[in-house]
């Protein structure tokens, strides 16, 4: 039986220290004194320098680049807390790495998303708090409770404060665009929240990381377009989609937003050279300085994660935060 902790304790790994600090400020709860580093041979070193016995402990750690190192940090921190007699341990994973490896696409493929879920559970986590899993079905990969926060409401609230978005909505010139058919539901939710119409970029992939646009479903001519996606990795899909909106659809200009800015490989260069005016991203992944280009506008998720942590501690429903 899981024992309810008598006090909130927050622990931060090295993946997203800025977000962890913002969450601690929202909750008015200082981060625990924990030293997370590596030994000379590369092994993870964790030293918890204060008592966590009987406490409700929340370990804040995105499993973003370097993915394997950050996952190992998370596992070692959870194990250390379990052995230190923490009351309940919640793994707060704003971005869940390996989420795209969620099925066998070919013979003998691993299902790594399930493997990571099993390892987190075995390490000693009692529940998981995350945001915008690549596939909602991933929640079923865990044998422990999963609270799955949604990024679209956070992005929508931030976008509604932007003067150019307000103007475009007022003049009925804003079109929400899904970069592919698979993301249509997500874009539809954004369109509903902003009171706009929806268009879809219909495309096919001849090879991995290559995308060929076929046509655009919806009239975007003369419109301000906002592309909505859950994550941007190499940025090939979103940049080519934006180009198609201008050249094929006749859009006036293109903006974009996403929950997880993975931005690997040539992503930053592609964004810099793209027709995208601004890219709004949630800070589920802490971007290094070299990736913080002027086009990227970060939006904090500290408030919603802070509220979720407080609700979990108080045994109140987290579902109220979905809107």
DSSP-assigned states of every residue in 92-113:
EESS-TTTT--S-SSTT---HH
Helix 152-159 to helix 184-194 angle (10° resolution) is 40
Q: CA-to-CA distance for 245 and 243, rounded, in angstroms?
A: 5
Hey, which bits of the chain come out as E strands?
A: 8-12, 34-38, 44-48, 56-60, 88-93, 127-131, 146-149, 174-178, 197-204, 212-217, 224-232, 253-261, 276-282, 296-299
The kind and range of the H/E element at 76 are helix 67-83
203, 221, 252, 291: which is the annotated catalytic residue?
203
Q: CA-to-CA distance for 150 and 161, rounded, in angstroms?
A: 19
Residue 203 falls in the annotated catalytic set? yes
Q: Catalytic residues, which ones?
A: 203
């Amino acid at each position: 039986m899981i024992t309810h902790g008598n006090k909130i304790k927050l622990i931060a790994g090295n993946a997203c220290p800025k977000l962890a600090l913002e969450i601690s400020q929202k909750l008015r709860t200082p981060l625990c004194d924990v030293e997370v580093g590596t030994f000379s041979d590369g092994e993870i070193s964790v030293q918890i320098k204060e008592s966590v016995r009987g406490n409700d402990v929340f370990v804040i750690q995105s499993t973003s680049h370097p993915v394997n190192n950050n996952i190992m940090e998370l596992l070692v921190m959870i194990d250390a807390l379990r052995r230190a007699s923490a009351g309940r341990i919640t793994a707060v994973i704003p971005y869940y790495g390996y989420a795209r490896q969620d099925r066998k696409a070919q013979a003998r493929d691993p299902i790594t998303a399930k493997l990571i879920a099993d390892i987190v559970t075995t390490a000693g986590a009692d529940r998981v708090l995350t945001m915008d899993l690549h596939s909602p079905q991933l929640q079923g990969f865990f044998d422990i409770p999963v609270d799955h926060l949604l990024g679209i409401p956070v992005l929508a609230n931030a976008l509604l404060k932007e003067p150019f978005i307000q103007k475009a909505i007022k003049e009925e010139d804003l079109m929400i665009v899904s970069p592919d058919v698979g993301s249509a539901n997500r874009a539809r939710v954004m369109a509903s929240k902003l009171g706009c119409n929806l268009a879809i970029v219909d495309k096919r992939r001849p090879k991995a990381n290559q995308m060929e646009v076929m046509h655009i479903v919806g009239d975007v001519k003369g419109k301000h377009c906002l592309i909505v996606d859950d994550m941007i990795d190499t940025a090939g899909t979103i940049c080519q989609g934006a180009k198609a909106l201008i050249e094929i659809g006749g859009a006036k200009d293109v903006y974009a937003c996403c929950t997880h800015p993975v931005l690997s490989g040539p992503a930053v260069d592609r964004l810099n050279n793209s027709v995208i005016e601004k890219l709004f991203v949630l800070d589920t992944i802490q971007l290094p300085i070299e990736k913080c280009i002027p086009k990227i506008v970060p939006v904090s998720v500290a408030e919603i994660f802070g509220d979720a942590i407080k609700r979990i501690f108080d045994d109140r429903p987290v579902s109220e935060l979905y809107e």
